[in-house]
Structure 1
């Protein structure tokens, strides 16, 4: 019975990864930029033979290594297991991104209105993924986990450190883009819109729509 419950939890978590990947891909296809967390990966994919999913896995792996560095003076078994678990899930998430980039290869917005519609749809789908990730409480994605351990090590509030982290990623993406092409690629008004509204959408879905009660049939152990 316990094993069945664990399988259900991880199944919902992986489903969340898929929705998150679809949301990111739709935002990319809007041609209005990408999310802060994907900004560096996207710029690198535009300027190299490697795909967005491949760069996502590489960057996530670096973040995993960074987490081991952050806990080097205060290691415990639970933290080590939590960090190591991110590796297979990062691979799955990266594969989901590349699969959906391929599936949407012919998706090109015909005008600015279509771009905005794709962007907003991507934000909603991405938010659904985030909620499905956090409900089972089984694992964290590498970026959020990195912020968690960094904020713990440097005694900062998680939310504030997350803002600093996102700003750093976007700034790095802009710098890399300028170095590669002498212009800014991958960071546009859509990046700002996604950064500003996704958190609110996640909060609304989590409290009003995708509550434990409504998800009970999907994941009975969340009663």
Structure 2
């Protein structure tokens, strides 16, 4: 239980970095990530905060997951989906907290906007790696793509691309409906979408490898590895 608790702490830390990265990208004033595009447009045109909009969208994705697993879902699927509710709340709270902390960040020129965007992509990528390493839960968007690709027998990567394109398209349509202009989707959205995956891959295989994380966070080490070390020591 203690080991599992620490794994969840690492996951929550990943959520914080993920939220901080999203906020930094938003503050760059160059758009936002595809996954946050609809949330951001809603927050710009309603009294709701970005965190609140994020929570609402995540709840819709959770409902969508139950629809996708209908007639074939297991008890484990149900638990996995329900577990997303408290983590979605925590993630949304982290977004609003970081929006407050970064309220005074306003890039004075385009170069500073690009720099802030790149920092946001890096911070977000660290969050993604920390979120995935403990293997205890999934966020609503990734879980929705997983169940959709399984339901319709499509490759996960291609389903993810279709999902992101759909979100960006919805964000553009919502923005046009609200203001007759496009808000929240700019060149930064494309840069974040294309760059984050490469940064995650680099961090995952070169910097934040299992070996390095085991040294920093021993609780992430599988029990089999610990037993092997004990046998070698004997």
User: What TM-score, normalized to structure 1?
Assistant: 0.98
Correspondence 1:70 to 2:68: yes
Q: CA deviation at 1:218?
A: 3.4
Q: CA deviation at 1:220?
A: 1.1
Alpha-carbon distance in 2 for matches of 1:152, 1:216:
32
Alpha-carbon distance in 1 for matches of 2:91, 2:171:
21
What corresponds to 2:29 in structure 1?
A: 31
What corresponds to 2:131 in structure 1?
A: 133
Aligned length: 221
Q: CA deviation at 1:72?
A: 0.8
User: What TM-score, normalized to structure 2?
Assistant: 0.93
Q: CA deviation at 1:44?
A: 0.3
Alpha-carbon distance in 2 for matches of 1:194, 1:149:
24
Q: CA deviation at 1:177?
A: 0.2
Q: Is 1:16–1:133's contact at 8 Å kept on the other side of the alignment?
A: yes
Alpha-carbon distance in 2 for matches of 1:121, 1:109:
13
Alpha-carbon distance in 2 for matches of 1:147, 1:219:
29
Alpha-carbon distance in 1 for matches of 2:147, 2:208:
28
Deviation digits for residues 22-71 of structure 1 (CA, Å, limit 9, x no counterpart): 00000000000000000000000000000000000000000000000100
When the two chains are superposed, the root-mean-square deviation of aligned CA atoms in Å is 0.6
Alpha-carbon distance in 2 for matches of 1:133, 1:103:
22
Which has the higher Rg, Structure 1 or Structure 2? 2
Q: CA deviation at 1:217?
A: 3.3
Alpha-carbon distance in 1 for matches of 2:141, 2:63:
12
Correspondence 1:202 to 2:200: yes
Alignment partner of 1:80 out of 78, 81, 96? 78
Q: CA deviation at 1:181?
A: 0.2
Alpha-carbon distance in 1 for matches of 2:216, 2:46:
40
Alpha-carbon distance in 2 for matches of 1:78, 1:84:
10
Q: Secondary structure at the match of 2:216?
A: coil
